[in-house]
Structure 1
Amino acid sequence: MVGIVLASHGGFAEGIYQSGEMIFGHQDNVAAVILKPSEGPEDIFQKLSDAVASFDDQEEVLFLVDLWGGTPFNQVSNLMDGHEKWAIVSGMNLPMVIEAYASRFSMESAQEIATHIVDVAKDGVKTKPESLMPAEATPVAEKAADDQSTGAIPEGTVIGDGKIKYVFARVDTRLLHGQVATGWTKAMNPNRIIVVSDNVSKDTLRKDMIRQAAPAGVRANTVPLKKMEAVAKDPRFGNTKALLLFETPQDALAAIKGGVELKELNIGSMAYSEGKVNVNKVLSMNQDDIDTLRELQSMGIKLDIRKVPSDSPEDPDALLKRAQQLVDEQK
């Protein structure tokens, strides 16, 4: 696996390391190196050397630095002498770091990842209102995603094999947020995110926020349950690789019964509300939730209990047993 060093003036690298871990989970072979105000070039050179020495593979190393020509950059350049496979990318931002993490799933070369993440880092710079963006900076990927809408395609047209592909489905009270827009999207590589919710589909503000939260190149839609059932049968979505998001397991169960053919369902976040019990740090349940998840299991749906891709899945049977005990104690 390619080793990644995040390097900066001050605590920036440590902060972005923590942010990346919150979104994408713990990462092996990643180190944050900072230059403190009281330190000099020799100090950070030694820290960089120690970071590389801690990696499993010291042949493939990618350095993400804050500023081209700054001391961290210069000392990485000195360290690179004789290491032809290493690479440096400056202008480090969070989209760049997350993309670098995700790229290690499919790329084994530091230099290949370096080339790939530059455009992602640029696409991470956006404005609101969108009209403030320079015309030439409008991401081409967003236009391409808009062009994929089936609105202009006659009904009955068969695209590809005529069957929508579900690359990932998740129950998450927060729906589309950082862990989903970066971590899970990068890991599962959908070309469309579909939020399935009767409530959210009636909320213009939330729908707009979901659309804006989608990563570059991936279109986000919000549809009610009945609309999702129609989409599942629409042959115009044959080239669609969809990531589905549900607010509740009840919505997921209804969609599956309505014809959405899922084999696995990730349970990522279920917020606490009155009458529920905290089963772990991110999952709160009541009797209806437990019964719904057990019904999903009885239908052959595999429950994947984890927050981010790098987490180890929890045993769903053990978790439901613990949830039932807590609910019974509450009665």
Structure 2
Amino acid sequence: MVKTESSPQTGVLVVTHADYGKALLDAAWFIMGKQPSVASIGVDATSEVEATVAAIRQRLKELDTGGGVLILTDMFGGTPTNLSLSLLSTGTLEVITGVNLPMLLKVLQNRDKRPQELATLAKNAGMQGIVVAGEVLRKKIAAS
């Protein structure tokens, strides 16, 4: 399926521990402006598993306008990821872990892609966004 300008965008759901996902979205929206079909869900110890899964499922329905949904979670093996993975077979959906701001920005800039393709872009952007700044600076100084 080739997406056109009238094709629906991929929805984005950030599912993380506590309010980390909301803070990431706030930062992304500060940079890019608020976007439709994007939301976050915080998972904490006070929430019952069934209620959290139901909340994720409901958000997926709201965010999927026909292009599927990409779920970004904070860490592989954590509760937000495990709960999200339990819904992987319920629609056009992909889950990617290790969410960071460069990854989220790349996702928001490329929502015309299908969730699986978007996840690959997100993975690459997330890894490229991890830099040991001192190493870069030392290499730059050594080269001059």
Fold conserved between structures, TM > 0.5: yes
Corresponding residue for residue 238 of structure 1: none
Q: Looking at CA atoms only, which structure, 1 or 2, has the larger radius of gyration? A: 1
Contact 2:10 2:68 in 1 (8 A): yes
Unaligned runs of 5+ in 2: 1-8, 140-144
Corresponding residue for residue 13 of structure 2: 5
Corresponding residue for residue 48 of structure 1: 56
Q: Which amino acid aligns with 1:118?
A: K
Is 1:30 equivalent to 2:38 in the alignment?
A: yes
Contact 2:16 2:74 in 1 (8 A): yes
C-alpha RMSD of the superposition: 2.0
Corresponding residue for residue 121 of structure 2: 116
Q: Deviations over 1:139-168 (max 9, x none)?
A: xxxxxxxxxxxxxxxxxxxxxxxxxxxxxx
- Point out which structure has higher relative CO (alpha carbons under 8 A, 6+ apart): 2
In structure 1, how many angstroms separate the alpha carbons of the residues matched to 2:24 and 2:42?
Answer: 11
In structure 1, how many angstroms separate the alpha carbons of the residues matched to 2:13 and 2:74?
Answer: 11
Q: Using a 3 Å threshold, how does the CA distance of structure 1 residues 45 and 111 change in structure 2: closer, same or farther?
A: same
Unaligned runs of 5+ in 1: 136-331
TM-score, structure 1 length as denominator?
0.37
Specify which of 96, 111, 118 is matched with residue 103 of structure 2: 96
- Would you say how many aligned residue pairs link Structure 1 and Structure 2? 131
Secondary structure of the corresponding residue to residue 32 of structure 1: strand
Q: Using a 3 Å threshold, how does the CA distance of structure 1 residues 23 and 75 change in structure 2: closer, same or farther?
A: same
Contact 2:67 2:114 in 1 (8 A): no
Is 1:76 equivalent to 2:84 in the alignment?
A: yes
In structure 2, how many angstroms separate the alpha carbons of the residues matched to 1:44 and 1:67?
Answer: 17
Contact 2:88 2:95 in 1 (8 A): no
Answer 1 or 2: which has greater helix percent.
2
Distance apart, 1:132 and its partner CA? 8.1
Corresponding residue for residue 64 of structure 1: 72
Ranges of 4+ aligned residues in structure 1 off by more than 4 Å: none
